[in-house]
Amino acid sequence: MFGLIGHSTSFEDAKRKASMLGFDHIADGDLDVWCTAPPQLVENVEVKSATGISIEGSYIDSCFVPEMLSRFKTARRKVLNAMELAQKKGINITALGGFTSIIFENFNLLQHKQIRNTSLEWERFTTGNTHTAWVICKQLEINAPRIGIDLKKATVAVIGATGDIGSAVCRWLINKTGISELLMVARQQEPLALLQKELDGGTITSLDEALPQADIVVWVASMPKTIEIDTENLKKPCLMIDGGYPKNLDEKFQGENIYVLKGGIVEFFNDIGWSMMELAEMRNPQREMFACFAEAMILEFEKCHTNFSWGRNNISLEKMEFIGAASLKHGFSAIGLDKQPKVLTV
Amino acid sequence: MHNELKITDMQTLESNKKTIEESINPISLDLPDFTTDSYKDAYSRINAIVIEGEQEAHDNYISIATLIPNELEELTKLARMEMKHKKGFTACGRNLGVVADMDFAKKFFSKLHGNFQVALEKGNLTTCLLIQAILIEAFAISAYNVYIRVADPFAKKITEGVVKDEYLHLNYGQEWLKENLSTCKEELMEANKVNLPLIKKMLDEVADDASVLAMDREELMEEFMIAYQDTLMEIGLDNREIARMAMAAIV
Ligand SMILES: NC(=O)C1=CN([C@@H]2O[C@H](COP(=O)(O)OP(=O)(O)OC[C@H]3O[C@@H](n4cnc5c(N)ncnc54)[C@H](OP(=O)(O)O)[C@@H]3O)[C@@H](O)[C@H]2O)C=CC1
Ligand SMILES: [Fe+2]
Ligand SMILES: [Fe+2]
């Protein structure tokens, strides 16, 4: 069994979904009611790999919404309760989707192993970040040439470079792609310096300086709110890979020759009979999903029952290659720009 | 088109850094001072509720046995556990030098107590089981689970033992209702509609005292909903039915 722990992108969205699913007791409730809501096992599903293997899984909504981020105890409880439910249901490997893995790390949940009468077994969980990082790198390699960007000459800016996903992406870009220049952006300088040392490459810079220089921008900062950006000075063409959650770039970036790609999203080769990705507003909800969710499926297909992606800064090139190969083998592919890339105009 | 980047407007995860650091230190893990007058004052009512609750639970299981005589042995076993719990919690109060306010506790339970007695008289076994083995047990489980995190070492140990038993009791009610679901569903829903709001009210009533003991109202309610939802799921109700039942708590 694989599991997926998710949440809605906003409180409004959560209420809408709850009402669609018939969870009337929370659909009409205010944020306080949601803060007391238990995790919900929304759906069970069977998935068949391109190799023919079948696996079963469950989708659990943690009832967390980004509006709870300022309530540290509430956010912590939402994640731990969802994890407890997954373990109690006997699920072997569960992906911590959306903000849940970030809450787990940043709020230091490792010290909360005992949840009621359940002792959480970390090896049953994965952040899914290895697969997400690999997918973002593939999206970059495949789509940049399609809009006329030559990787060998390209400058790539990674926003959120010191994050778990960001650092893995930087590692891959430096070692595997031969890009011309890597710009690394984050707020804290110390981790940036450490990363630069580890990579023996890359330039530390600010967001404002990075954007006008970049042919490709990878957004993997953990920013819960939409940001607005001065698009006048961007390079043309420019490829923007929005790897954040929630996806909050595409409507903001307007301008000729600016291409925005939803980052960290994969497509399965076959329809999956589920409804949860409809709720996540995927373009093709029967096939598309977050790469971190797909990681749990891949690990289950591979009978690799271990916390494959765990902690921070542990994503090696070998792990990315392993999960990437397994991803392709079982029928996943990174989503790309539309067949005829839509050029957003002012 | 010119949009300014508004970093200052951005709510970021790091705004929580300070709280995180506080929570890492286990000593400052929100443990209250057990020796203050305000703590003892609040404890005199919470402790009384718990003692009274255990007594009621004992009496209720003995009463339920009159409706299902072939379960007498099992139910007597449960009732005995409740008396043991009562003794344990009485010791917790004594240990802190607190005199339990039993009059307050009797009043606190009076409505639910009344509803149980009426159901018993009418022989409404489903209602009796819902009130005692589901609602009261889930209420106890939620309170004990939250209390364990902030209790004094003596009470913590006792409560940890107790909560394990309460899960067994919840399970007892659950199994009976599961087996008889086809015939008891309607009564279960009806009884829930009447009695769940009482539980919610009781929870609201203790919230202030509980917060003096560092027990968070939100956490109490969440723990209750988890135990309650879990057990309804095990009984065999679907998501929508459970949602409809839980509605009664949102008033
Ligand atoms: N598509 C998918 O399947 C998935 C997407 N994600 C998303 O990817 C993103 C990154 O995840 P993850 O790597 O785990 O997160 P981390 O918390 O590990 O890293 C966040 C990074 O962003 C930087 N950052 C945060 N705020 C800002 C800011 N205002 N300006 C510049 N940099 C900033 C941080 O550095 P500093 O604090 O120094 O600024 C850090 O480098 C998240 O949005 C997450 O939700 C995650 C999993 C799966
Ligand atoms: Fe008891
Ligand atoms: Fe009990």
pLDDT in tens, A138-190: 999 999 999 999 999 999 999 999 999 999 999 999 999 999 999 999 999 99
**CA dist list (Å): B56 to B81, B99, B188:** 12, 19, 21
The burial class, CB within 10 Å (0-12 / 13-18 / 19+), for A289 is buried
Q: Which residues does chain A have within 8 Å of residue B13's beta carbon, measured at their own beta carbons?
A: 69, 99, 102-103, 106, 222, 224
Residue A223 CB–ligand 1 contact under 6 Å: yes
Taking the CA of residue B29 and the nearest CA in chain A, the distance in Å comes to: 12
Per-residue confidence (pLDDT) for residue B197, from 0 to 100 = 97
Which pLDDT band, with edges at 50, 70 and 90, does A106 fall under? Answer: confident
- Alpha carbons A139 and A327: distance in angstroms, whole number: 14
| Contact call for A107 and B249, based on CB within 8 A | no
Q: Which residues of chain B make contact with A108, given a CB cutoff of 8 A?
A: 20, 23-24
Q: What is the reported pLDDT for A278? A: 73
Q: How far is the CA of A159 from the centre of ligand 1 (A)?
A: 8
A46's enclosing H/E stretch is strand A40-48
Which residue did the predictor score with more confidence, B196 or A255? B196
Per-residue pLDDT at A251: 61
- Do B197 and B135 touch, CB atoms closer than 8 A? no
Using the mean position of ligand 2's atoms as its centre, give its distance from the Cα of residue B145 in Å: 13
CA distance B231 to A106: 32
Q: What is the pTM of this model?
A: 0.90
- pLDDT bin (cut points 50, 70, 90) of residue A108 is confident
Q: Which of A106, A132, A165, A227 for a ligand 1 pocket mutation test, highest count of atoms within 8 Å of Cβ?
A: A165
Q: Which residue has the higher pLDDT, A128 or B17?
A: A128
Q: pLDDT-derived band of residue B249, with 50, 70 and 90 as boundaries?
A: confident
Q: How many angstroms separate the alpha carbon of residue B107 from the centre of ligand 3?
A: 20
Cα B228 to Cα B220: distance, rounded to the nearest angstrom:
12
Instruction: Answer yes or no: are the C-beta atoms of A26 and A72 closer than 8 Å.
Output: no
Confidence of residue A253 (pLDDT cuts 50, 70, 90): low
Instruction: Give the per-residue pLDDT at B29.
Output: 60
The average pLDDT across B229-236 equals 96
pLDDT surpassing 80 at residue A321 = yes
Cβ A185 under 6 angstroms from ligand 1: yes
Nearest ligand, measured from the Cα of A100: 1
Which residues of chain B make contact with A11, given a CB cutoff of 8 A? none
CB contact under 8 A, B1 and A255: yes
Cα of A219 from ligand 1 centre, angstroms: 8
Residue A158 beta carbon below 6 angstroms from any ligand 1 atom: no
* Radius of gyration of chain A from its Cα atoms, rounded to whole angstroms: 20
pLDDT at residue B9 greater than cutoff 50: no
**Are A81 and B226 in contact (CB < 8 Å)?**
yes
Q: Could you tell me if the CB of A324 is within 6 A of ligand 1?
A: no
A94, A135, A133: which is closest to A306 by C-alpha?
Answer: A94
Q: Which two tokens stand for residue A218?
A: 């990878």
Q: pLDDT per residue over B27-78, tens digit each?
A: 446 689 999 999 999 999 999 999 999 999 999 999 999 999 999 999 999 9
**CB-based contacts of B208, cutoff 8 Å, min separation 6:** B42
Is the CB of residue A153 below 6 angstroms from any atom belonging to ligand 1?
no
What whole-number distance in Å separates Cα of residue A130 and Cα of residue A182? 20
Percent of chain A with pLDDT over 90: 75
> Whose atoms come closest to the Cα of B88: which ligand?
2
The predicted pLDDT at position A273 comes to: 86
Task: Please determine, for the modelled complex, whether the ipTM score is greater than 0.90.
Answer: no
Q: Which residues of A touch B148 (CB under 8 A)?
A: none
| pLDDT confidence of residue A252 | 60
* Residue ranges of A 86-145 with Cβ closer than 8 A to chain B: 99, 102-103, 106-108, 111, 116-117
Confidence of residue B155 (pLDDT cuts 50, 70, 90): very high
pLDDT at res. A230: 72
Interface of B with A in 152-211 (CB under 8 A): 163-164, 167
Q: Which of A25, A36, A252 sits opposite B3 (nearest CB)?
A: A252
Strands, DSSP E only, in A87-221? 93-96, 114-115, 118-119, 125-126, 155-159, 181-185, 203-204, 216-219
- Work out the average pLDDT over A126-145: 97
